[in-house]
Structure 1
Amino acid sequence: MEMKFYNRVLLSLSIVLLIFCCLIIAYALHSKDSVFEFGSISDCISSMSALGTFIIACMAFKKAPEWINQRMHEDAFSMAKKIMFDDYPALKEKIDIAGALIDHYVLQVEFISDELDSFISLDDCNTSLSVFREIKQTPSTITNSLRNLAKLGWDMSSEFSKLNSEINVLYYKLQEYNNVAFVGVKKILASKDKVVKEKFAKISIENFEKFQRHEKEFDILYKKLMIMHKRIPDYFEIGKI
C-alpha cells in the first residue's frame, strides 16, 4: 500500500536526523580543529535524538485520530465489498437453484402428470429443502453485517435500505413456498390415501406457481440493487467517525 503523507513526513524527518548525526560524528572524528570532545558529541547526539523522538511522537499523536478513522473506513469498505460481491449473489444463487428445480417439476406436471409422487422422490424433496438450510448467507446475516457497518460510520442510504427490506421479504416468501411445496410432496409419498394425496398435490402445485411468480419479482429487485450505483460507497451515507 502506498504510504500516506504523514508517514512520509515522519520517515523523512527520521532520515534527516540520522544523516545529521552521522555528519556530526564524521566531522568530530576527522576534523583537526574540532573542539568537540567525545562526551560532548554523545550529549549532542542524545539531545538531537530526544528532540527528534519528541517531534515524531507529537506528530504521531496529532495524526492518531485520523489514522483510526481511516482504518475504520478501510475495514468498513472490506465488509461492504463482501456484502455486495459475495452475500447478495449467494442469496440469488439459492433462489436460482431452487427455481430451476421447481421449473423442472412444473414442466413435468404440465406435460406428464399431476401425480407428483410419480416423478418426485423423497431424495428429490430433501435436495430441494436443503437449498435453504445453508445459513452462511441469509438476509439475517446480511442485516447483521449492515448493522456492524453502521457502527463504523457507513449507514445504508434510504434507497438501499428500502430495496434491501423488499429483497429480504421476498427471499423469505420464496423459502416458505419452496418448503411448503416439498413438505407437501413428502406427505403425498408417505400416504396411501387418495384424498390426502390430492389435497397435498394441490397445495404443492399452488406453491410451485407462487414461487415462480415471486422469483421474477426477486430477480427484478436483485438487478435493480446491482445496477443502483457504480461504486460501493455510493450505497452508503458515510460519516466521519
Structure 2
Amino acid sequence: MNTYSREELLDMFGYSFQVLKTVEDLDEAIKKEQERASRVSMSTFYKIKSVYVKILLIFTALCIVWGLLTGARANFWQMIIVFGLYYIMLRLLFSPIMMVLHFIYSRFANKAYKVAADNEASNQYREQGVVLLQDKEFLSYKAQIPKQYFNINDLYLLYSYLENYRADNFKEAANLLAEEQHRNQVEYNQQIMQQSLTSIERNAQYQSVIQTIHLLETRSMRTELGSQLNGIQNSIGSIFRKIR
C-alpha cells in the first residue's frame, strides 16, 4: 500500500467508501420499506380507534344532554365531572374489544413487515447492492486494502486524512488512524473509570449513612436500655426501703 501515491489512495478509499455507503443506504431503504408496510397495516386500526373515540365522546355528550332535557339539575363543573366519568366507564367497558383488535392488527403489521423485505421495491434495492458489491473495481480495491481497514468508518477517516493533507501516504494515514483510535479508547476507558469511581463513591456514601443510622439506633437502644435498668433499680431500692 505504501507504493501508491496520494491521488491513487484517494481514489481507492473514496470509491470503496462510496460503494459501502451506498449499500448501507440501500439496506436502510429496505428497512424503511418494511416500516412503511407495517405502518400501512396498522393505519386501519388507528382509524378504527379514532372513530371509536369520537363515537364514545358523542354518545357521552348525548347522554348528558338527555339528562338535562329530562329534568336533571347540574352546574357546569358537575356536568364536566359526569361527562368525564361516563367517558371513562365507556372506555373501560369497550377496552377489551380494542385490545383484541390491537393484537390482531399488530400480528398483521408484523407479517407485513416481514413480507415487505421481499417485495418488488426491496428486491430492487437488494439487487442494486449486490451489483455494487460485485463491481470489478470495488473488488480490486477490496483485495488491495488491508482487511482491518476495509470498513466504512476507517475508509472515511483514511480518505479525510489524505484529502486534508494530514497524511501523504498510507503509512502516515494508518498511523493517524491508530493514534485517533487509541485516543478514543483511552477517553472511553477514562469515562468508564470515572463512572465506576462515581458509583463507588455513591455506594461508600450510602454505606456510611447506613452505618451512621445503625450507630444511632444502637446508641438509642443503649440509652433506652440504661434508662429502663435505672428505673428497675430505683423500683427495687424503693421496695427494700419499704421493707425496712
More RCO (CA 8 Å, sep 6+): 2
Structure whose residues are more often helix by fraction: 2
Larger gyration radius, structure 1 or structure 2: 2
Q: Structure 1 length as normaliser, TM-score?
A: 0.32
Q: Structure 2 length as normaliser, TM-score?
A: 0.32
